Chains A and B, each alone.
Chain A
Amino acid sequence: MANQIAANHVHLPGDAAAEAIAGHIGKFWDPRMRNRLYEFVDAGADGLDPVVVAAVRLLR
């Protein structure tokens, strides 16, 4: 789903996209879902869009 969110912000330049994705996840996701995303990133973020990884950095 994080990749889906990223795909829908692809029109934004890198930093703005990461900010928008971070804003969306922060606003709508339950903390346990965010934590699972963080764990996924920590485990290598396999297949995760780089802009989501950037968004996670902003979220933490």
Chain B
Amino acid sequence: MTLLKEPDFGTPERPGEATVSVEVDGMPVTVPEGTSVMRAAAQAGIEIPKLCATDSLEPFGSCRLCVVEIDGRRGTPASCTTPCADGMQVRTQTPKVEKLRQGVMELYISDHPLDCLTCPANGDCELQDMAGVVGLRQVRYGYEGENHLDAEKDTSNPYFDFDPSKCIACSRCVRACGEVQGTFALTIEGRGFESKVSAGAGETFMDSECVSCGACVQACPTSTLQEKSVVELGMPTRSVITTCAYCGVGCSFKAELRGDELVRMVPHKDGGANEGHSCVKGRFAFGYASHPDRMLKPMVRDRITDPWREVEWEEAIGTVATKMRELQGRYGPSSIGAISSSRCTNEEVYVVQKMVRAAFGNNNIDTCARVCHSPTGYGLKQTFGESAGTQDFRSVAEADVIMVIGANPTDGHPVFASRMKRRLREGAELIVVDPRRIDLVRSPHIEAAHHLQLKPSTNVAVVNAMAHVVVTEGLADLAFVAQRCEGFAEWAEFVARPENSPEATEEVSGVPSGELRAAARLYAAAPNGAIYYGLGVTEHSQGSTMVMGMANLAMACGNVGRDGVGINPLRGQNNVQGSCDMGSFPHELPGYRHVSDDAVREVFERLWGGTLLSEPGLRIPNMFDAAIDGTFRGLFVHGEDIAQSDPNLKHVTAALEAMELVVVQDLFLNETAKFAHVFLPGASFLEKDGTFTNAERRINRVRAVMKPKTGKHEWQIISEIATAMGYAMSYDHPSQIMDEIASVTPTFTGVSFEVLDKLGSVQWPCNESAPEGTPVMHVDEFVRGKGKFVVANYVPTDERSTRRFPLVLTTGRILSQYNVGAQTRRTGNVAWHPEDILELHPHDAETRGIKDGDLVTLASRVGQTTLHAEISDRMPAGVVYTTFHHPVTGANVVTTENSDWATNCPEYKVTAVQVGLAHPLGQSGTEVVEDDHQLVTVVD
């Protein structure tokens, strides 16, 4: 595809039923009421010159280039700020406006460098374009007068430069930072001729609050804000529309290339999830794909202490197949298994689970979703009948009260956070349930109505107390409940018990009862109340219980089945939803159907040939246990780094060391690869064809921007391993894999590459009754028929603070890094977060003699590590926090093996720890600390 330039209608769409009809240059056009003259003209195919206007931003009316004449009106109004009125006659090209525009343009150019031929934006500059459009032929004022041509360039940001000498002060960047991103880091400083764009209080971009989302760069009509990659490589010449491979938002991007070299990623306006917005990772952090650390050749070794030996694909694949079969011969068919990756495409995940079930002949397939959102799958299936979130992201625009529980969207899901913040600025109320004071609690133009700053591990107590208020104060939507749900009476009796009252739970959760009651009333009374949640819900020993608790609360308040409501998991990796959909859990075939279901198994047995096991296989933690026990001997790890991401690393590495064959497929020699016998190099998302499914069940196309640098597609490698093991599996193209998925998965019946290419994306279910997908689930009835209230007992975690481990560690993410950092650590993003740090409350720091920046030890019952401290009152006293992006720190050295009762999702969010100043000689990682068994002192 040649470079895709998306049409710009100048001002945003004004949805609505009522319309008005106008004539623009004699062309009749009918538009929704409130539409600008500029947009109406664009819809009639008439481009009015503009500089400050763009359809992602509200009209501003500053550049004066879009002036028009309107019959019966005086003067020359700006077409961007003038709404259409019925019968209006607009003239866009008259001698008067032409002269005005030329005069305006002449003034702009009189204070602009005339270096077009050497300017990086040459050919992609709206100022240049408009100079041509308005017919500018001369600048009468000369260039000797006062100007801004010597203004100093700010090159502090790793990804883009700010050259104020080229700025026309149109404010598009400032407005994009506020309206689109919601950060408000930019401003116009000074007045009149002194007006200039400023990041923060006259700071550099790097020192300011700028989050490098790129909205300003995208909005800039000149070369003032310009990607460094464009400066270095030149303007791209072609684009490929694909999907970001970072978080579960699933942003669409135009990958813009020059030849085969990726120059930049530009968010795609038609992307259903992001609608033209991006974050620093998706927009800029793609350099890892061409990083010199990438492994491009397969490698094998007999023992993990041996050096690697590069081999050809044939030998690597043959080694995997032969050794896997040997292990099965020696230890039984169930002695091997695989972990699929939520970073890979649906098609790749599907073939991995197929390889396990059909070629390995067992159900020992699990996915990294085990350690993040498996409670979501379990809890929503039990209550609603479907293991997925209920809404599309767009729906948040209809929410009146938004409750964010155990999630930090501005860091973890920033593009969705921008949508949410926009709605909050419009007046929606916010409830934050989190031990930390995350940015959303108070940020520019946003303040949470309630911050329920609960103690880690007490989510269920809090949600039950909210339900108590709803039930006992008569706030439940009984009509909704009666019509659509079952089990209400038993559940209502349970939550109404005195032990679930806010007053009773206050001691456990630390949330003041009055605050909790007020939050519950706010949520229950909202016309539309929406819950968004993350790993701060799921990664607990009661993760599944909490998901069911939230579902109960939503049903009781009638907040399911329409726009602006629902239960919405914010998925971590790009394809967590998809990897679960594709049958990666050891008990489920694709489409969440249990392996014990004879009819379902029969469908797959017929298609795949052979017999499938009806018993569930091993989950990831069970694989580790079985490896140490000696019954599990061979593991294929597809695109994951379990030796950094999984809890209690000592146990994980012991399991990996115990196995006779560990196969790792990844872009880099990650921590897990240190324990591998075969390394299969993977392809980056830029080299893949297929689909990702995001947190809103949206199936997005991933299109190859370039050929795989390794010479093989990942689905191809899996197929060849299966074939070498004696199970013939072959596809010519991933579209065939999707066709197979559609043929055996009811929710995917209508999905094909052809449909996706035509519609852009679809949200499953996509089938005969919903051929273009299902943005909102459970509209008329729940997938399981009646929504089911499930009694959700609060069962405290076994992990206890003691005198020896008096603090609670909770973990999370930071905006600039992603997951275990394998990708982002190999990009310019390290400029923001070069190491993991430990946040702790000033009181906890002071009592330990810790100062900001000190090196400290972080010790739990299972291990200890060292890292630098940051004193922060975002933390409540008694709780400390760190990220897990860096292997040097290895935060999971200290996390325990406690896990969710229903799914084994690890309890990453609750680890009893002690923090102290690090001894200069005691800085090494995995030290085991003896348990003191003094389960007496509760966190203060």
Q: How far is the CA of A37 from the CA of B120 in the complex (A)?
A: 68
Residues of B within 8 A of A33 (CB): 618, 622
Contact status A30-B793, CB under 8 Å: no
| Contact A4–B795 (Cβ < 8 Å) | yes
CA distance A30 to B614 in the complex (A): 11
State which residues 337-371 of B face A: CB under 8 Å: 363-364
Contact B615 A31 (CB under 8 A): yes
Tell me the nearest residue of chain A to B542, going by C-beta: A8
Q: How far is the CB of B889 from chain A (nearest CB, A)?
A: 29
- Do A7 and B616 have beta carbons less than 8 Å apart? no
Q: In the complex, which residue of chain A has the Cβ closest to the Cβ of B615?
A: A31
User: What 0/1 pattern do residues 604 to 622 of B give for CB contact below 8 A with A?
Assistant: 0000000000011111001
B902 at the interface (CB under 8 A from A): yes
Q: Does B494 contact A (CB under 8 A)?
A: yes
Please state if A27 and B795 are interface contacts (CB–CB under 8 Å): no
Question: Binary interface profile of B, 97-131, with partner A (CB < 8 Å = 1, else 0)?
Answer: 00000000000000000000000000000000000
Please give me the residue from chain A that is nearest to B631 by CB atom: A32
Partner of B791, one of A11, A24, A29: A11
Determine whether the beta carbon of A30 is less than 8 Å from that of B586: yes
Q: Could you tell me if A8 and B793 are in contact, using CB atoms closer than 8 angstroms?
A: yes
Q: A1-B901, A33-B622 are in contact. Are A7 and B617 (CB under 8 A)?
A: no
Which residues from chain B contact A31 at a C-beta distance below 8 Å?
615
Let me know if A11 and B793 touch, CB within 8 A. yes
Q: Given the known A-B contacts A7-B901, A8-B545, A8-B901, are A27 and B587 also in contact in the complex, defined by CB atoms under 8 Å?
A: yes
Distance between A31 CB and nearest chain B CB, rounded to angstroms: 5
Chain A residues with CB below 8 A from B902, complex form:
5, 8, 24, 28
- Closest chain B residue to A32 by CB distance? B631
A10 within 8 A of B: yes
Q: Which residues of A contact B586 (CB under 8 A)?
A: 30
A8 x B795 contact (CB < 8 A) = yes
Interfacial residues of chain A within 7-52, with CB under 8 A of chain B in the complex: 7-8, 10-11, 24, 27-33
Return B199 CB to nearest CB of chain A, in Å: 51
Neighbouring B residues of A28 by C-beta, 8 Å: 587, 616, 902-903
Cα(A10)–Cα(B901), bound, Å: 13
- Residue in A closest to B796 when the chains form the complex, CB atoms: A7
Assess whether B723 is interfacial by the CB under 8 Å rule: no
Chain B 789-816 near chain A by CB (<8 Å), digits 1 or 0: 0010101000000000000000000000
For the complex, is B541 an interface residue (Cβ under 8 Å from A)? yes
Is B165 positioned at the interface, with any CB of A under 8 Å from its CB? no
1/0 contact string of B866-904 vs chain A (CB within 8 Å): 000000000000000000000000000000000101111
Contact status of A4 and B617, CB under 8 A, knowing A11-B494, A11-B793, A32-B334: no
Contact partner of B596 among A1, A5, A10, A27, CB < 8 A?
Answer: A27
Instruction: Answer whether residue B594 sits at the interface, using C-beta atoms and an 8 A cutoff.
Output: yes
User: Taking the nearest CB of chain B, how far is it from the CB of A26, in angstroms?
Assistant: 8
A38 smallest CB distance to B (angstroms): 14
**B626 at interface by CB-CB < 8 Å:** yes
Q: Name which of A5, A30, A31 has the most chain B CB atoms within 10 A of its CB.
A: A30
Nearest A-chain residue to B613, judged by Cβ: A31
> How far, in whole Å, are A4 and B334 apart by their CA atoms in the complex?
26
B residues within 8 A CB of A27?
587, 594, 596, 616
A7 touches B615 (CB 8 A): no
What is the bound-complex CA distance between A29 and B587, given in angstroms?
8
Looking at the assembled complex, report how far the CB atom of A10 sits from the nearest CB atom of chain B, in whole angstroms.
Answer: 6
Q: A1-B901, A30-B615 are in contact. Are A7 and B795 (CB under 8 A)?
A: yes
CA A28 – CA B901 in complex, angstroms?
11
Residues of B within 8 A of A30 (CB): 334, 363-364, 586, 615-619, 622, 626
- For A4, give its contact among B615, B791, B901 (CB under 8 Å): B901
Chain A contacts for B619, CB-based, 8 A: 30
Closest-CB distance, A9 to chain B (whole angstroms)? 8
The answer to whether B616 and A29 have CB atoms under 8 Å apart is yes
Complex CA gap A39/B418 in Å reads 54
Name the distance in Å between B815's Cβ and chain A's nearest Cβ: 35
CB distance from A59 to the nearest CB of B (A): 12
Whether A32 and B626, one on each chain, are in contact in the complex, defined by CB atoms closer than 8 angstroms, is yes
Query: What is the minimal beta-carbon distance from A16 to any residue of chain B, in angstroms?
Result: 11
**Cα of A5 to Cα of B903 in the assembled complex, Å:** 10
Q: How far is the CA of A14 from the CA of B628 in the complex (A)?
A: 35
Closest chain B CB from A42 CB (angstroms): 18
Chain B nearest Cβ from A46, distance in angstroms: 17
Residue of B nearest to A12 (CB): B791
What residue of chain A has the Cβ atom nearest to residue B797's Cβ? A4
Chain A residues contacting B594 (CB-CB under 8 Å) are 27
Is the beta-carbon distance between B617 and A5 smaller than 8 angstroms? no
Task: Verify A7–B631 contact, CB threshold 8 A.
Answer: no
Complex: A20 Cα to B862 Cα, angstroms: 33
Nearest-CB residue, chain B, relative to A33? B622
Interface residues of B in 415-454 (CB under 8 A from A): none
Known contacts A27-B594, A28-B587, A30-B622, A10 near B334 by CB under 8 Å: no
Contacts of B364 in A (CB 8 A): 30
| Alpha-carbon separation in the docked complex, A33 to B617 (Å) | 10
Q: How far, in Å, is A6 (CB) from chain B's closest CB?
A: 9
Q: Give the contacting residue for A7; candidates B334, B363, B793; CB below 8 A.
A: B793
Q: B787: shortest Cβ distance to chain A, in Å?
A: 19
Shortest CB-to-CB span from A12 to chain B, Å, is: 8
Within the assembled complex, what's the spacing in Å between the Cα atoms of A28 and B377?
13
- Cα separation A27 to B615 with both chains bound (whole Å): 8
Complex Cα–Cα for A10 and B899 (A): 18
Q: Which residue of A lies closest to B334 (CB)?
A: A32
Residue of A nearest to B585 (CB): A28
In the bound complex, CA of A24 to CA of B622 (Å): 16
Contacts of A24 in B (CB 8 A): 902
Q: Could you mark each residue 579-595 of chain B with 1 if its beta carbon is under 8 Å from any beta carbon of chain A, else 0?
A: 00000001100000010
Q: How far is the CB of B731 from chain A (nearest CB, A)?
A: 30
| Shortest Cβ gap from B752 to chain A (Å) | 32
Bound complex: CA A11 to CA B324 (Å): 45
Chain B residue with minimal CB distance to A10?
Answer: B793
User: A48 to nearest B CB, angstroms?
Assistant: 15
Residues of B within 8 A of A29 (CB): 616
With the chains together, A4 CA to B898 CA distance in Å? 10
Q: How far is the CA of A24 from the CA of B545 in the complex (A)?
A: 14
With A and B bound together, what is the CA distance between A10 and B542 in angstroms?
A: 14
Q: How far is the CA of A32 from the CA of B631 in the complex (A)?
A: 9
Contact residues in B for A4 (Cβ distance below 8 Å)? 541, 795, 901
Residues of A within 8 A of B334 (CB): 30, 32
Specify the chain B residue showing the minimal Cβ separation from A1: B901
Chain B residues positioned under 8 Å from A8 (CB to CB): 542, 545, 793, 795, 901-902
Chain B nearest Cβ from A47, distance in angstroms: 13
Q: In the complex, A29 Cα to B619 Cα: how many Å?
A: 8
Closest CB of chain A to B502's CB: distance in Å?
Answer: 20
* Beta-carbon contact of A5 and B626 below 8 Å: no
Q: How many Å from the CB of B377 to the closest CB on chain A?
A: 11
Residues of chain A within 8 A of B904, CB atoms compared: 1
- Inside 8 A of B618's CB, which chain A residues have their CB? 30, 32-33
Point out the residue from B587, B631, B791, B901 that lies within 8 Å of A5, measured CB to CB: B901
Q: Knowing that A30-B363, A33-B618 are A-B contacts, what are 13 other residue pairs whose CB atoms are under 8 Å apart, sorted by A's residue number? A: A1-B899, A1-B901, A1-B904, A4-B541, A7-B793, A7-B795, A8-B902, A11-B791, A27-B596, A28-B903, A31-B615, A32-B334, A33-B622
Residues of chain A having any CB pair with chain B under 8 Å:
1, 4-5, 7-8, 10-11, 24, 27-33
24 contacts between A and B (CB under 8 A): A1-B899, A1-B901, A4-B795, A5-B902, A8-B542, A8-B545, A8-B793, A8-B795, A8-B902, A10-B793, A11-B791, A27-B587, A28-B587, A28-B616, A28-B902, A29-B616, A30-B364, A30-B586, A30-B615, A30-B617, A30-B619, A30-B622, A31-B615, A33-B622
The 4 residue pairs across chains A and B that have the minimum distance between CB atoms: A4-B901, A7-B795, A11-B791, A30-B618
